[in-house]
């Protein structure tokens, strides 16, 4: 775990200003170590939002067996929610619990896939990008819906994709990850390019629309009686 980036007890105005500054630190180039483990992250809430629940699943990456990746470790971490829901500031609400989950891991991944946005965010700092800075690891955001940007119609076949734009800037891609199923929104978080992000998402796709790391993290997170 890298050194702390900032305090979490911030007013919304301060948090937005910090997002703008942190976004300047993101690396949109490929700086990945050889990938042997990939983590999937899913974050939810319990007790009417009072408790944040982070699920992290670490899978062994083996090109010979992909996308049937074996689970090496999985953890759930719960803690009191630190910020109310404020549009655009979701990472301040979610990441503290995610960091708590990563601290419990005995195997640290070389690549992290997050159920959420990377740079496809109004201030280019979605939860995947913000988490990447904290962990100093390559991260990819895979979201089920669009937060910002515009795009053309995407084809209906698996693997079809179109760029996601904010003005003239490409901030992600809309990917048809399963034929004739609603697309996902892929954007780089940190230390990875968009093209490489798409390549890794495609490599990890099984029979569903979500890549296996985030699919399994979502499944783990849905086990409300899980106390690990």
Q: Are 39 and 68 in contact (CB under 8 A)?
A: no
Bridge partners of 150, per DSSP, are 165
Distance, CA of 27 to CA of 218 (rounded, Å): 27
**42 is known to lie in a ligand binding site:** yes
Token pair 């899980």: residue: 226
Closest alpha carbon to 214 in 96, 111, 106: 111
What phi-psi label fits residue 150: left (phi over 0), alpha (psi between -120 and 50 degrees) or beta? beta
Tokens of 103: 């601290």
Three-class SS state of 15: helix
Q: Are 151 and 158 in contact (CB under 8 A)?
A: no
Is omega for the bond preceding 67 within 30 degrees of 0, making it cis? yes
**68 is known to lie in a ligand binding site:** no
* DSSP assignment string, 70-116: EEEEEEEEEEE--S---TT-HHHHHHHHHHHHHHT-SS--SEEEESS
Residues of the binding site? 42, 115
Residues of the binding site for Mg(2+)? 42, 115
């Amino acid at each position: 775990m890298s050194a702390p980036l900032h305090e979490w007890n911030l007013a919304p105005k301060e948090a937005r200003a910090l997002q703008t500054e942190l976004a300047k630190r993101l690396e949109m180039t490929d700086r990945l170590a050889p990938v042997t483990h990939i983590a999937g992250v899913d974050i939810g809430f319990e007790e009417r939002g009072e408790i944040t629940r982070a699920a992290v699943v670490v899978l062994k990456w083996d090109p010979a067996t992909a996308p049937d990746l074996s689970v090496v470790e999985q953890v759930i971490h719960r803690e009191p929610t630190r910020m109310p829901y404020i549009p655009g500031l979701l990472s301040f609400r979610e990441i503290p619990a995610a960091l708590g989950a990563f601290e419990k891991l005995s195997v640290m991944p070389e690549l992290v896939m997050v159920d959420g946005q990377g740079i496809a965010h109004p201030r280019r700092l979605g939860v995947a990008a913000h988490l990447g800075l904290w962990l100093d690891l390559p991260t990819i955001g895979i979201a089920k819906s669009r937060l910002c940007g515009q795009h053309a119609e995407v084809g209906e076949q698996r693997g079809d994709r179109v760029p996601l734009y904010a003005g003239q800037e490409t901030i992600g891609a809309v990917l048809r990850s399963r034929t004739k199923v609603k697309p996902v929104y892929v954007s780089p978080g940190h230390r990875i390019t968009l093209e490489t992000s798409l390549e890794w998402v495609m490599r990890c796709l099984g029979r569903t629309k979500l890549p296996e790391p985030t699919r399994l993290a979502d499944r783990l997170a849905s086990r409300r009686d899980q106390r690990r």
